[in-house]
């Protein structure tokens, strides 16, 4: 399930974040690449333990965890601190699958990566190329979103960032472990939750049918959740 989460950051938020990132010292993205990714990763990355990365990461998480659509789609248990990357001309990240287990660089806590996230921090017209291409059951999905919007997708997906041919692509990327391990189960719960919200608006949250579906939703979470 690929889900676009619009307007995680306002345009003013993006400008403030970019002001800090544009003044930061970047390092080679290969410093955090695994053995397979090392062969295809050609970009720049903000050191995860830097003051800038930590401050901006906390700000993004505050915005993200207040977003109802994100919470409905992800059902997060634990979220890794956001990281930041930059692609200048000719830089790219070839086809790869994210590591199944990642370590929080600040706490050393291990986390299973169920969902991957990319928060776009450059407007689409600011660069050519640099599309995020994600393989799913329906083929290759090409993603290039407005600054402030985020794409959420299963970490099991083969994906790549195509070469930037002009301009600069800046984004935040990170992972989470969901309370619901199965992508199929998360999709069912997301669809059910969206229907409950629509019914709450049209016939009321206390209507017997809305209440019954809400009970089914929570009982499914009881069956499938891992905490």
Predicted confidence (pLDDT) per residue in 94-119, tens digit:
999 999 999 998 889 999 999 999 99
Q: Give the homologous superfamily in CATH for domain 3-178.
A: q2cbj1_9rhob like domain (2.60.120.620)
Distance CA 19, CA 26 (A): 14
Mean of pLDDT values over 147-154: 98
**141 Cβ neighbours under 8 A, 6+ residues apart:** 2, 133, 134, 135
Tokens representing residue 166 in the block: 């002009």
Instruction: Express each pLDDT in 18-41 by its tens digit.
Output: 999 999 999 988 766 666 666 788
Mean of pLDDT values over 65-91: 97
Helix H segments across 23-153?
Answer: 51-64, 68-74
Domain ranges within the chain, ordered by starting residue: 3-178, 183-224
3-state DSSP call for residue 195? helix
Distance CA 127, CA 139 (A): 25
The DSSP bridge pattern shows strands 76-79 and 41-42 to be unpaired
Q: Domain 183-224 class?
A: few secondary structures
Query: Which residues share a beta bridge with 175?
Result: 116
Helix H segments across 82-207?
Answer: 183-202
């Amino acid at each position: 399930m690929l889900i676009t989460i619009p307007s995680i950051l306002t345009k003013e938020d993006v400008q403030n974040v970019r002001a800090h990132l544009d003044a930061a010292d970047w390092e080679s993205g290969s410093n955090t690449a695994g053995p397979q990714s090392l062969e295809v990763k050609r970009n720049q990355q903000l050191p995860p333990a830097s003051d800038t990365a930590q401050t901006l990461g906390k700000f993004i998480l505050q915005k993200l965890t207040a977003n109802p659509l994100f919470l409905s789609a992800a059902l997060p248990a634990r979220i890794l601190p956001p990281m930041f990357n930059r692609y200048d001309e000719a830089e790219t990240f070839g086809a790869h699958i994210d590591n199944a287990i990642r370590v929080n660089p600040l706490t050393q806590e291990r986390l299973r990566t169920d969902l991957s996230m990319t928060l776009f921090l450059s407007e689409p017209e600011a660069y050519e190329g640099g599309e995020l291409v994600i393989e799913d059951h329906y083929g290759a999905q090409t993603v290039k979103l407005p600054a402030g919007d985020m794409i959420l997708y299963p970490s099991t997906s083969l994906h790549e960032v195509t070469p930037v041919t002009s301009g600069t692509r800046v984004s935040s990327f990170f992972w989470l472990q969901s309370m619901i391990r199965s992508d199929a189960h998360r999709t069912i719960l997301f669809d059910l939750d969206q229907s409950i919200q629509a019914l709450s608006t049209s016939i009321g949250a206390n209507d017997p049918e809305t209440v019954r579906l809400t009970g089914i939703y929570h009982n499914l979470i009881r069956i499938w959740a891992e905490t």
